[in-house]
Amino acid sequence: MSLRTMARGLMRGVSWKNPVVNTAVHAVDPVDSLLRRINGQGYLPPYSVRARSAGIRLDIGGKEFLQVGRTICNLLIAHAALTPDSNTLEIGCGCGRNAFALAEFLRDGNYTGMDIERVALQGARGNQLLRRKRFAFDLLDVRNDAYNPAGRYAAAEYVLPYPDRSFDVVFMVSVFTHMLSDEVKNYAAQIARVLKPAGRCLFTAFLLEGRDPTEFPFQSQEHSYANQAIPAIAVAYRLDFFSSVFTANGMFSGPGPLWGAIHGGVSPTRDQDVVVFTK
């Protein structure tokens, strides 16, 4: 494995499961806590919890964590018609990286975050700032080989516990990047169901078009993946897979996609691309 591939793996969110990495990550917490207090960001979750959502980054103090959340919020405003009054669902919200930014933006709207990884979700649920905003966080026991391998329910069949036509905006940041194609198909149907008419779904993805094929060398069903043993660690798709899945559920494509930097595009989400569908 090349150093570049190892570094990419570390950035991709589940490296904290490695016991050595996990110990090192916890060792950073006291310094991170001190820096956060100095910078007035003492309210953020500790580094070891943020790493479960954001991956291992040199982000001691949480500055980048906040910046990424604000970038996502701006993308939602620009491309998913997010307004201060929107009812918003974030699938795979982790420890609240994007919720903190939405807490600054939403006024009469509301936010529900759901995730399947207990520690991260509890980091968001127990956060005082997000509690004051009355943001809701749902922990769901859905299986994912990278994040919740002993989960009770299959993602390919799970019915999201939200009423039909209840959200203006549904979004997912670096979540379809961990889901297999039959799971994506089910979630697309669920998203189409819970969105209000004209509601929008924005998500990030590793789009395969123009990407170095050695990045995702393995194939199964309609997805390509990077890690042979645990495909859910990093999964990539062709754009037309998403188009056919969402249009099959009565949604249409656009605006976009915004191609990520890896494609020479302008998407601010680095190596991930941004895709939007409208109901």
Ligand X SMILES: C[S@@+](CC[C@H](N)C(=O)[O-])C[C@H]1O[C@@H](n2cnc3c(N)ncnc32)[C@H](O)[C@@H]1O
Q: Provide the pairing of β-strand 273-278 with 110-115.
A: unpaired
- DSSP letters, 161-220, are SS-TT-EEEEEESSSGGG--HHHHHHHHHHHHHHEEEEEEEEEEEEE-TTS-GGGS-EEE
45 and 26 in contact (C-beta within 8 Å)? no
State phi, psi for 117 to the nearest 5 degrees.
Answer: -105, 115
Contacting residues toward ligand X, per CB under 6 A = 13, 53-54, 91-94, 97-98, 115-117, 120, 142, 144, 147, 155, 173-175, 178-179
Angle at 183 between CA 192 and CA 110, to 5 degrees: 45
Distance CA 9, CA 120 (A): 19
Q: Nearer Cβ to ligand X, position 34 or 50?
A: 50
The distance of closest approach from Cβ of residue 158 to ligand X in the complex, given in angstroms and rounded to an integer, is 7
**Is the Cβ–Cβ distance between 237 and 222 less than 8 Å?**
yes
Q: Which is nearer to ligand X, 106 or 120 (CB)?
A: 120
Q: How far is the CB of 187 from ligand X (least distance, A)?
A: 7
Query: Minimal distance in Å, beta carbon 98 to ligand X?
Result: 6
Q: Work out how close the CB of 246 gets to ligand X at its nearest, in angstroms, rounded to a whole number.
A: 17
- Smallest distance from the beta carbon of 236 to ligand X, in angstroms? 14
Indicate left, alpha or beta for 258 from its phi (over 0: left) and psi (-120 to 50: alpha): beta
Q: How far is the CB of 208 from ligand X (least distance, A)?
A: 19
Looking at the Cβ atoms of 84 and 149, the one nearer to ligand X is: 149
Determine the 3-state secondary structure of 187 from DSSP: helix
Nearer of residues 55 and 252 to ligand X, judged by Cβ:
55
Query: Would you say 104 or 252 has its CB closer to ligand X?
Result: 104
Q: Which residues contact 130 (CB under 8 A, 6 or more apart)?
A: 96, 99, 100, 103, 124, 137
Q: Of 93 and 106, which has the nearer Cβ to ligand X?
A: 93
- Give least dist CB 44 to ligand X, A: 12
Nearer of residues 232 and 251 to ligand X, judged by Cβ: 232
Structural tokens at position 269: 């989400």
